[in-house]
Structure 1
Amino acid sequence: MARLFGTDGVRGRANDQLTAELALALASAAVRVLGADAQTRPRVVVGRDPRASGELLEAALCAGLAAAGADAIRVGVVPTPAVAFLTADYAADFGVMISASHNPMPDNGIKFFGAGGHKLDDATEDAIEAAMAGEQPRPVGAGVGRLVDAPDAVTRYLDHLAAHGGTHLDGLTVVVDCANGAAAHVGPRAYEAAGARVIAIHAAPDGLNINKDCGSTHLGDLQRAVLEHGADLGLGHDGDADRCLAVDSTGAVVDGDQIMAILALAMHERGELTDDVLVATVMSNLGLHLAMTAAGVDVKVTGVGDRYVLEELRAGGYALGGEQSGHIVIPSAGTTGDGVLTGLLLARRVAETGRRLADLAAVMTVLPQVLINVPVSDKHAVAAAESVEAAVAAAETELHGAGRILLRPSGTEQLVRVMVEATTADDAQAIAERVAEVVAAV
């Protein structure tokens, strides 16, 4: 039987794979595991992004929490990093975020944060899954949990952003693509509070339009808006606002690797980059490694997923890490990736240096990279197939050490991802397509 938890919680098509019944069972099991050491009745922060199915899943989760004897603190539609922050700020026993992040609207997900707002390790997730089996005694009368709303949740989170993101963006014009998601409720307010002139696009979520041709996975509208308004930069978030990608004043995309390079050098200059180490995943561009080496910064490499970046950051006590996709983690400011905080820090770097974002991003040369997602029926079996392994080996030989190939199963979908870097875009495309054909044929 497949493991219920993926690389970032439990995800699936809402009301199909991810049902209200499953949400209720997960919530009750989480109370038994994560609330086991609570001195009083466990308290749980519950937030969601604005997709329509979040309403029914929130209701089911809260019912499961209350049925297991925990109080649910509903914080409404907020970014994922807000739930992590508020879990700590309210001194809750754990937190739950209902979101499928950058996935299409029909999908949804449930991710848990432990006490202090930290993501769970595999063993704890496995314990929750195991606790779902069998009937458990239920409290009655005064032992049943209660549901309360937290009207100050957004204000607390905005204050947190202001404290860590700075307030020196006067004179900057920033376009913010909110992906019709959770950023719509806090993103523009945070950038305006920092002093920027803000133009918000895709900031009218209706439950159905989240991530639809917008946000960090579809930057075309953001690029056009930056040029139309003559903005200094554009910032694109995903549905739950834990990612940030950028667009410079020329309309060029600045990805997560480039953002990490800019922030790493800024922290390096200020003596804030612990042990001169940046943590990145295997998907980060080779150009990032070359730029950091030139600057005297070591890059520690992890598997794909911000949880693995977080584990390395915590293990080494490092100050900065992230992913090419725009998950950027700064442990001194939060326990998980925070897209709005990343946007604030990037804009602050533009303001404090007086340089264009394009000039700051030029610190690294991006090696041409091609990523092809191949739909398959069994991603793990296909990735391990003999013909696929042979195709990867042949590609590595062809690259002659002047590039690289990475093939991996998706953590959230039935896809095998084929990534190739080469000295030219044509070479990268050709090699990636050849390997993808082999993958598709299995």
Structure 2
Amino acid sequence: MSAGEPRFGTDGIRGVANTELTPHVAMRLGMAAAHVLSRSSASRRVIVGRDTRLSGDMLEAALNAGFASMGMHVTNVGVVPTPAVSQITLFARAAAGVVISASHNPFEDNGIKFFGADGRKLPDAVEDEIEAAMAQWESLPRPGPAEIGRIQDSRDLVGQYLARVASTAGAPLDGFRLVLDCANGAAHELAPPLFRGLGAEVTAIHTEPDGVNINVACGSTKPASMAETVRHTGAHAGLAFDGDCDRVMMCDERGEIVDGDRMMAVCALGMHAHGDLPGSLVVATIMSNAGLEVALEEHGIRLVRTDVGDRHVAEELARNGAAIGGEQSGHVLFPRLGPTGDGMVTGLQVLARMRASGRPLSELASVVRPCPQLLRNVRVRSREGWQQVPEIQQAIAAARARLSRPEWLSVRASGTEPLIRVMAQDTDAARVESTVEELCALIERRFGA
């Protein structure tokens, strides 16, 4: 790949549309992915979906041209949630699924992420192969004119996906008053009718995408308007999806935010009480609040932490045979309900717990008492090299020793920006602040931009 071009990160390839993530990059990516993925699948079919960004049509056309030029048959399913592409890839027995989305990022950004034939995100090794093939795109073997792939638009399997999501509710939502914030994104057409079809009274907001308003003052990263609408309408709960609907942030009947940690606790405790939590285990990332860990331990449940990213959570879930895991951001995985995170499925699981217990969400979520947690970013000249500096490593070791648990400190490089992220948490706020400030000052002194 050329210098400056976007590369695979924690969630596919991302960049500023038409500047970094250009049609030329998308076409070459389609060609390279077809070359690599066709070697491990007898299918020649690829499922492609996108969110509502202005650049989605442009990148879709270029990506599909790359696929077709390599003999792959493309089915465009249109604007759908990321988990819909994952599920439809399974239904269709396709070789791969591709989503054109930058999730919760602003409209200027876009991204391309892949699912394998199993509906799961590609392993790092496969992404590395695709990157290598992109660098040699002009010499990749291409089929003759009669073997060029076809491109068609079809939403036939979207209904099957929605039926699968609805089936996870377990029972109707009759009597629930809900607010759905669709972030002017992929959920805008599908989520409101799905929840209404289950019997809920729904107030839907941010459902008018125009290509540039995705995630603007709305959605899972900016849930204030959702919370305010809950308070105004007297709803039982609110659900704010992100731009591609693979995560959700909720609020209780008082308009108080219920994040991914609390949603995981609510669901895990209900599953544990019914003997439905294998290994009495929950998987979360290093970013989850220590309050979640303490709350679960009080009920005999162990928390296993992973590096940041739902891919790492998914791998640990599979390794342990666990039934629930996720991120504080609201990206929660239920492996028995689907191969990847789904904001609508997550919301339905929390609502099912509310219905089964007869308790309001505020009461259920109060089981997690958040501990002081502080995250700071240090802008650096390079994301590489700091791990090899003895002074920094000694300071990190000393900081871990000061905290109640060593895993409550995280120092890591951003996957996409020239930043080092330092996060600490503990029961003592002053200890947390001093730990973060000292490490940030050292990193800035040695590597600051």
- Shorter-normalised TM range: over 0.9
Name the structure 1 match of 2:74: 72
Which stretch shows the higher mean deviation, 186-195 or 370-379? Answer: 370-379
- Per-residue displacement from partner, 1:307-329 (whole Å, max 9, x unpaired)? 01111112222211111111111
Matches within 5 A, 1:150-169: 150-169=154-173
Provide the secondary structure at the position in 2 that maps to 1:336.
coil
The AA in structure 2 aligned to 1:312 is E
Question: Contact conserved, 2:133 with 2:140, CA < 8 A, in 1?
Answer: no
CA contact (8 A) 2:290 2:426 kept: no
Deviations 1:380-438 (A, max 9, x none): 34566556545545544554659933221122333222212132446534543444344
Q: Which runs of structure 2 are paired with 1:297-336 in the superposition (5 Å)?
A: 297-336=301-340
The answer to whether the 8 A contact 1:288-1:365 is kept is yes
- 1:10 pairs with one of 10, 13, 19: 13
Aligned-partner SS, 1:169: coil
1:21 aligns to 2:24 (yes or no): yes
- What are the superposed Cα offsets for residues 131-185 of structure 1, whole Å, 9 maximum, x if unpaired? 2233122223320000111122332221111112334211111111111111112
For the residues of structure 2 that align with 1:60 and 1:265, how far apart are their CA atoms?
A: 46
Question: How far apart are the structure 2 equivalents of 1:109 and 1:15?
Answer: 11
Give me the identity figure in percent.
47
SS at match of 1:116: coil
Please tell me the residue identity of whatever aligns with 2:99: M
Question: In the alignment, which of 413, 424, 449 is matched to residue 409 of structure 1?
Answer: 413
CA contact under 8 A between 1:167 and 1:195: conserved in structure 2?
Answer: no
Deviations 1:245-303 (CA, angstroms, capped at 9, x unpaired)? 11111221111111111111111122221122111111111111111112121222211
Residue number in structure 2 paired with 1:191: 195
Gaps of 5+ in 2: none
Quick one: which of 170, 174, 177 aligns to 1:173? 177
Tell me whether 1:340 sits opposite 2:344 in the alignment: yes
Return the match for 2:38 from 35, 39, 52.
35
1:369-408 aligned within 5 A: 369-382=373-386, 385=389, 388-389=392-393, 391-393=395-397, 395-396=399-400, 398-399=402-403, 401=405, 404-408=408-412
Distance 1:165 1:439, change over 3 A: farther
The answer to whether the 8 Å contact 1:383/1:409 transfers is no
Residues 22, 397 of structure 1: alpha-carbon distance in 2 compared, 3 angstrom cutoff: same
How well do the aligned residues superpose, as a CA RMSD in angstroms?
Answer: 2.1
SS state of the match for residue 176, structure 1?
Answer: strand
Q: Name the residue aligned to 1:45.
A: 47
Query: Gaps spanning 5+ residues in structure 1: where?
Result: none
| Equivalences for residues 81-230 of structure 1 within 5 A | 81-134=83-136, 135-230=139-234
Q: How far apart, in 2, do the equivalents of 1:118 and 1:432 lie?
A: 35
For the 8 Å contact 1:383–1:407, the answer to whether it is kept is: no
Aligned counterpart in structure 2 of residue 255 of structure 1, from 253, 259, 264: 259
Alignment length, in residue pairs? 441
In 2, Cα distance between the equivalents of 1:282 and 1:174?
A: 31
Taking the aligned partners of 2:212 and 2:256, their CA distance within structure 1 comes to: 29
Instruction: Tell me, yes or no, if the aligned pair for 2:173 and 2:200 is still in contact at 8 Å.
Output: yes
**Match of 1:215, SS?**
coil
Structure-2 change in CA distance of 1:401 and 1:272 (3 Å): closer
Q: Classify 1:44/1:398 alpha carbon distance in 2 versus 1 (closer, same or farther; 3 Å).
A: same
Is residue 51 of structure 2 the alignment partner of residue 58 of structure 1?
Answer: no
TM-score, normalised with respect to structure 1: 0.94
Counterpart pick for 2:300 among 289, 296, 303: 296
Name which of structure 1's ranges 423-432 and 318-327 shifts more when overlaid on structure 2: 423-432
SS of corresponding position for 2:85: helix
Query: Which residue identity lines up with residue 143 of structure 2 in the other structure?
Result: P
TM-score (norm 2): 0.92
Q: Point out the more displaced range, 130-139 or 428-437.
A: 428-437
Q: Which amino acid aligns with 1:357?
A: L
1:283 maps to a residue whose letter is M
Assess if the C-alpha contact under 8 Å between 1:376 and 1:382 holds in 2: no
SS at match of 2:111: strand
Q: Between 67-76 and 363-372, report the one with greater CA deviation.
A: 363-372
Partners of 2:156 and 2:171 lie apart in 1 by 21
